[in-house]
């Protein structure tokens, strides 16, 4: 789960990380008022979206008057900010963050991530801040500092000082840098984060260590332990299909193809998408309905998949171990009878009670295309999709 910059800064500040003074605004007029509250003569107006690269896309503006703040905020509100991380569809801007401009001498990159290879929290830092870590890795790989934290003892002061020395932090700022590193680590571990990133972390002209930008991502499976974090979720920044799926306990990721997938198990879902590609089709989604594929859950999955206008065929691929094929078959029949679809439906069942499941499908009287293997199901899905598209094209021509 992602959160906004201003939310990440509020969290990190509670853990001892120094951040500039700022205020949130929901309109251009409020943004100008926030600047008056903050004082000063230069401000930064930042679009709050869940994406990096905002500056290059016009989502970060330096302003030197209230008039400039009004104009900059007006240009942002209600617009779609398109960056290299959002894709062509962009992210809607519905709030901005106003900060007093800070004069600084150095920019540093600082990131905390979960390294799955070592099963440890890894600190990644660079003296070349202000750029995306991918750019730093490509252009200045020698500047990157990596340090793995031993979970039994956590981040120790000596390890934090080693990182600071490697970054060339002056001795007089060592205590501030150590406090910043320790604060980020505690926020990461105590709140079940999967990423904490400060880019840039700056050394100001008056010798302060400040987080000018901040990103945090949390483990969606652990947010139930942190209700105050769960409340920070902004659904306007999410794919609406993925939001609906999450609210219904389904694991869904929207893609750009036209063959919808309903599968139980993440591994089988990945294999299903690969097989569709192998057969000449394009999957429209990743959808794992999980271990409890009850009729009601399958019906929810059908409604979710069909909410994507690009879907022109549906492939249901269930391997029943804990599940039961007859349950899944009942769910398919119930879903299609309650909400008939005008696209081909291909069903492949295997495992527990598969014979009963096949009988339910056969007796339903619905035009369901059955398959016995994954490759057969994928090939039939692609063929049915192509035939359906060709038939519709012919009818429109007539």
Q: Is 54 annotated as a binding residue?
A: yes
pLDDT tens-digit profile of 359-396? 999 998 898 999 999 999 999 999 988 887 776 666 55
Question: Is 214 contained in some domain?
Answer: yes
Yes or no: say if 213 and 199 are a contact pair by the CB < 8 Å rule: yes
Could you tell me which residue, 290 or 1, shows the higher pLDDT? 1
Helix ranges (DSSP H) in the chain: 5-14, 28-38, 66-76, 133-139, 157-166, 174-190, 227-230, 240-247, 266-278, 295-306, 325-338, 354-363, 374-397
> Are 121 and 12 found together in one domain?
yes
Residues whose CB is less than 8 angstroms from the CB of residue 272 and which lie 6 or more positions away in sequence, other chains included: 261, 263, 283, 315, 317, 374, 378
Question: Is 395 contained in some domain?
Answer: no
Q: Is 296 annotated as a binding residue?
A: no
> Are 179 and 226 found together in one domain?
yes
Question: Is 42 contained in some domain?
Answer: yes
Percent residues over pLDDT 90 in the chain: 60
> Are 9 and 41 found together in one domain?
no
Please write down the long-range contacts of 162-165, taking CB distance under 8 Å and 24 or more positions apart. 163/123, 163/125
Q: What is the CATH number of the domain that holds 132?
A: 3.30.470.20
> Are 8 and 128 found together in one domain?
yes
> Are 7 and 147 found together in one domain?
yes
Q: Is 99 annotated as a binding residue?
A: yes
| Domain end (from 52, 80, 101) | 101
Question: Is 187 contained in some domain?
Answer: yes
Give the mean model confidence (pLDDT) for residues 148-177: 94
Q: CA torsion angle for 57, 61, 62, 63 (degrees, to 10)?
A: 150
Total count of domains within the chain? 3
Q: Is 37 annotated as a binding residue?
A: no
Residues whose CB is less than 8 angstroms from the CB of residue 149 and which lie 6 or more positions away in sequence, other chains included: 120, 121, 122, 123, 155, 159, 185
Q: pLDDT at position 337, please?
A: 87
Total Cβ atoms within 10 A of residue 152: 5
Active site residue 109: yes
Helix (H, G, I), strand (E, B) or coil at 123: strand
Phi then psi dihedrals of residue 62, to 5 deg: -90, 125
Q: Is 53 annotated as a binding residue?
A: yes
Question: Is 398 contained in some domain?
Answer: no
Give the mean model confidence (pLDDT) for residues 82-101: 88
Give the mean model confidence (pLDDT) for residues 216-244: 86
Q: Based on DSSP, count helices (H) and strands (E) in the chain, helices before strands.
A: 13, 18
> Are 288 and 326 found together in one domain?
yes
Q: Is 221 annotated as a binding residue?
A: no
> Are 122 and 2 found together in one domain?
yes
Q: pLDDT at position 324, please?
A: 82
pLDDT tens-digit profile of 318-374? 888 777 888 888 888 888 888 788 889 999 999 888 999 999 999 988 989 999 999
> Are 254 and 383 found together in one domain?
yes
Which H or E element spans position 296?
A: helix 295-306
| Domain end (from 72, 101, 130) | 101
pLDDT tens-digit profile of 101-139? 999 999 999 999 999 888 999 999 998 887 778 888 888
| Domain end (from 79, 101, 123) | 101
> Are 73 and 161 found together in one domain?
no
Q: What is the CATH number of the domain that holds 59?
A: 3.30.1490.20
Q: Is 46 annotated as a binding residue?
A: yes
Q: pLDDT at position 393, please?
A: 62
Question: Is 396 contained in some domain?
Answer: no
Could you tell me which residue, 196 or 263, shows the higher pLDDT? 196
pLDDT tens-digit profile of 165-220? 999 999 999 999 999 999 999 999 999 999 999 999 999 999 999 999 999 999 98
Question: Is 347 contained in some domain?
Answer: yes
Q: pLDDT at position 335, please?
A: 83
Candidates 5, 6, 185, 197; catalytic one:
197
Q: pLDDT at position 23, please?
A: 95
Kindly report whether the peptide bond that precedes residue 211 is cis, defined as omega within 30 degrees of 0.
no
Active site residue 197: yes
What residue numbers bound the domain in which 86 lies?
21-101
Q: What is the CATH number of the domain that holds 315?
A: 3.40.50.261
Q: Is 264 annotated as a binding residue?
A: yes
d(CA 252, CA 239): 10
Give the mean model confidence (pLDDT) for residues 239-265: 81
> Are 91 and 193 found together in one domain?
no
Question: Above 90 in pLDDT, residue 290?
Answer: no
Candidates 5, 6, 97, 109; catalytic one:
109
> Are 159 and 12 found together in one domain?
yes
Q: Which residues pair with 319 in a beta bridge?
A: 350
> Are 282 and 378 found together in one domain?
yes
Q: Is 213 annotated as a binding residue?
A: yes
Question: Is 286 contained in some domain?
Answer: yes
């Amino acid at each position: 789960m992602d959160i906004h910059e201003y939310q990440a800064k509020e969290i990190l500040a509670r853990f001892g990380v120094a951040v500039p003074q700022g205020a949130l605004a929901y309109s251009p007029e409020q943004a100008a008022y926030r600047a008056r509250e903050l004082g000063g003569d230069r401000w930064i107006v930042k679009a709050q979206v869940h994406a990096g690269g905002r500056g290059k896309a016009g989502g970060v503006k330096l302003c030197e008057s209230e008039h400039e703040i009004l104009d900059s905020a007006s240009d942002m509100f209600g617009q779609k900010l398109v960056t290299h991380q959002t894709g062509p569809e962009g992210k809607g801007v519905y709030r901005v963050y106003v900060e007093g401009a800070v004069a600084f001498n150095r920019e540093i990159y600082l990131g905390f991530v979960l390294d799955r290879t070592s099963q440890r929290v890894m600190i990644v830092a660079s003296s070349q801040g202000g750029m995306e870590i991918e750019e730093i890795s490509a252009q200045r790989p020698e500047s990157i500092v990596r340090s793995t934290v031993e979970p039994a003892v956590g981040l120790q002061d000596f390890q934090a000082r080693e990182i600071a020395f490697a970054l060339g932090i002056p001795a007089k700022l060592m205590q501030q840098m150590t406090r910043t590193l320790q604060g980020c680590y505690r926020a990461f571990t105590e709140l079940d984060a999967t990423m904490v990133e400060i880019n840039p972390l700056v050394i100001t002209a008056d010798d302060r260590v400040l987080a000018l930008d901040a990103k945090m991502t949390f483990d969606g499976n652990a947010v139930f332990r942190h209700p105050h974090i769960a409340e920070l979720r902004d659904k306007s920044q999410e794919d609406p299909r993925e939001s609906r799926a999450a609210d219904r306990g389904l694991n869904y990721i929207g893609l750009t193809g036209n063959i919808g997938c309903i599968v139980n198990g993440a591994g089988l879902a990945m294999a299903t998408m690969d097989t569709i590609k192998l057969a000449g089709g394009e999957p429209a989604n990743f959808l794992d309905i999980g271990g409890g594929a009850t009729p009601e859950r399958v019906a929810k999955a059908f409604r979710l998949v069909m909410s994507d206008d690009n879907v022109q065929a549906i492939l249901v691929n269930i391997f029943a171990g804990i599940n039961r094929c007859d349950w899944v078959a009942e769910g398919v029949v119930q879903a299609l009878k309650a909400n008939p679809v005008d696209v081909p439906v291909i069903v492949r069942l295997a495992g527990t009670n598969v014979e009963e499941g096949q009988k339910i499908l056969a007796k339903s009287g619905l035009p369901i295309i059955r398959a016995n293997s994954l490759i057969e199901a994928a090939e039939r899905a692609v063929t049915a999709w192509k035939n359906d598209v060709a038939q519709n094209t012919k009818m429109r021509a007539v």
